[in-house]
């Protein structure tokens, strides 16, 4: 006799679904963390704050996503990210699932009883539906398509591509744009406490195949997010930064590009901006619908100058912090990756974003110490399929 099917919504079905999503994320997370450019901050204790934030996410995200999902279904929230300047994007989506899973990996070594079906299912099912709504093509991650994130409307892509192709980059302008790009990226890196979420790439687009540019040209779109004063108290140093958001269209010649789920571009050759042949700049500032307006090159120069001033002030401020304050600030950045989803659902003010909150002081101290050790001595490679293990119990 054939076995009766597992009822939809039953504990067994939820366990099976959560385990399937854990198994899906495991090799992808292993690959992404292995590929990521290694950087050990000389200023900010990054690994300790990551552990603190992820363990808080493990303890608190399940209930928080239930509140968000009840206010606006995850798939609808994901669809709202399909426009410039939205932080409902590739890296934030990756993070809400994987911060929970990293915290689970750490915390359940101390208390396996916390590894519940309800918690894992709540977070991973929310992620699955939000990611599907964001990508809109039946996939969930850039990994699924070999490195593409093409979520913006075709009319928008065409507008930026046409402007970029019509604005060629010569040998004099190219080094200046490379310097400005580095200035903006490095500033946002520090503003987000050594986290690569201040900028995010989408694409790539084969302009030749699309009839929007010469054969052999590829466009990557790069969003720069929250460049001025934002949610974090230390961003008051950016009060005078003119633009909150910028979207750059980067036209590259003879470059193979793929977008990662960290929102970064991997290319062959590696120095892709040496092959920058077209450039256009827009902003969504001043509009609530993600519509764009062009930004002149002189405005970009002014933005870079203002950013340099803000970055110097920010560096001095962080350098005066003690280790504990840095860890708490960095943990706040990581933990609040869920906030854009709550804002889209209109419930951000109903949730507590303080961190650390639920980790008890002795555990906090243990995580900080473990983070210091991991930062100085990374663990040996793991089996990709076992990066995240299945739920405990039967």
How do residues 307-354 score in pLDDT, each as one tens digit? Answer: 999 999 999 999 999 999 999 999 999 999 999 999 999 999 999 999
Q: Report how far residue 194's alpha carbon sits from residue 333's, in angstroms, rounded to the nearest whole number.
A: 10
The pLDDT of residue 40 is: 54
Which of 96, 135, 73, 50 has the alpha carbon at shortest distance from 340? 96
3-class DSSP assignment, residue 19: helix
What is the chain's length? 394
Which of 17, 72, 133, 45 has the alpha carbon at shortest distance from 370? 45
Per-residue pLDDT of the chain (394 residues; tens, 9 = 90+): 333 344 557 889 999 999 999 999 999 999 888 776 444 567 899 999 999 999 999 999 999 999 999 999 999 999 999 999 999 999 999 999 999 999 999 999 988 999 999 999 999 999 999 999 999 999 999 999 999 999 999 999 999 999 999 999 999 999 999 999 999 999 999 999 999 999 999 999 999 999 999 999 999 999 999 999 999 999 999 999 999 999 999 999 999 999 999 999 999 999 999 999 999 999 999 876 668 999 999 999 999 999 999 999 999 999 999 999 999 999 999 999 999 999 999 999 999 999 999 999 999 999 999 999 987 777 777 888 789 999 987 5
- The pTM score is 0.94
Contact indicator for 84, 156 with CB cutoff of 8 Å: yes
CB contact set of 90 (below 8 Å; sequence gap of 6+): 134, 141, 142, 149, 200, 202, 259, 261, 262, 263
3-class DSSP assignment, residue 257: strand
CB atoms within 10 A of CB 330: 25
Q: Report how far residue 312's alpha carbon sits from residue 17's, in angstroms, rounded to the nearest whole number.
A: 48
Which of 222, 223, 200, 219 has the alpha carbon at shortest distance from 210? 219
Q: Report how far residue 341's alpha carbon sits from residue 198's, in angstroms, rounded to the nearest whole number.
A: 17
CB atoms within 10 A of CB 135: 24
Q: Report how far residue 360's alpha carbon sits from residue 355's, in angstroms, rounded to the nearest whole number.
A: 11
The pLDDT of residue 386 is: 85
Summarised one tens digit per residue, pLDDT across range 184-219 is 999 999 999 999 999 999 999 999 999 999 999 999
Contact indicator for 263, 255 with CB cutoff of 8 Å: no
The pLDDT of residue 383 is: 84
Integer CA distances (angstroms), 71 to 60, 99, 293, 341, 350, in order: 17, 22, 32, 11, 11
| Dihedral (CA of 37, 39, 44, 47) sign | positive
Which of 388, 386, 393, 392 has the alpha carbon at shortest distance from 22? 388
Contact indicator for 314, 254 with CB cutoff of 8 Å: no
The pLDDT of residue 65 is: 98
């Amino acid at each position: 006799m054939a076995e009766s099917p597992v009822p939809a919504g039953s504990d067994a079905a939820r366990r099976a679904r959560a385990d399937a999503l854990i198994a899906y994320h495991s090799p992808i997370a292993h690959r992404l963390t292995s590929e990521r450019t290694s950087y050990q901050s000389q200023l900010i204790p990054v690994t300790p704050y990551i552990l603190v934030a992820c363990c808080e996410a493990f303890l608190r995200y399940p209930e928080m996503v239930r509140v968000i999902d009840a206010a606006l279904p995850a798939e609808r929230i994901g669809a709202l990210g399909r426009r410039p300047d939205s932080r409902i994007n590739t890296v934030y989506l990756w993070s809400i699932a994987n911060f929970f899973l990293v915290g689970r990996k750490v915390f359940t070594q101390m208390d396996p009883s916390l590894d519940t079906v309800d918690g894992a299912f709540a977070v991973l099912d929310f992620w699955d539906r939000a990611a599907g709504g964001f990508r809109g093509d039946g996939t969930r991650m850039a990994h699924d398509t070999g490195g593409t994130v093409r979520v913006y409307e075709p009319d928008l892509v065409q507008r930026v591509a046409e402007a970029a192709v019509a604005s060629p980059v010569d040998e004099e302008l190219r080094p200046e744009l490379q310097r400005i790009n580095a200035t903006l990226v490095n500033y946002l890196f520090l503003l987000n406490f050594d986290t690569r979420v201040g900028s995010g790439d989408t694409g790539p687009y084969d302009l030749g195949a699309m009839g929007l540019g010469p054969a052999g040209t590829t466009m990557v779109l790069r969003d720069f997010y929250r460049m001025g004063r934002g949610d974090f108290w230390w961003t008051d140093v950016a009060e005078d930064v003119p633009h909150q958001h910028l979207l750059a269209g980067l036209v590259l010649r003879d470059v193979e590009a793929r977008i990662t789920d960290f929102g970064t571009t991997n290319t062959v050759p590696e120095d892709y901006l040496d092959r920058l042949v077209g450039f256009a700049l827009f902003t969504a500032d001043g509009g609530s619908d993600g519509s764009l307006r062009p930004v002149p090159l002189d405005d970009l120069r002014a933005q870079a100058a203002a950013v340099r001033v803000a970055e110097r002030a920010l560096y001095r401020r962080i350098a005066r912090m003690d280790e504990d304050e840095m860890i708490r600030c960095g943990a706040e950045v990581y933990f609040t990756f869920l906030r854009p989803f709550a804002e889209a659902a209109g419930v951000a003010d109903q949730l507590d974003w303080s961190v650390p909150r639920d980790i008890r002081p002795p555990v906090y101290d243990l995580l900080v110490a473990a983070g210091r050790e991991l930062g100085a001595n990374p663990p040996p490679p793991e089996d990709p399929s076992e990066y995240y293990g299945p739920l405990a119990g039967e």
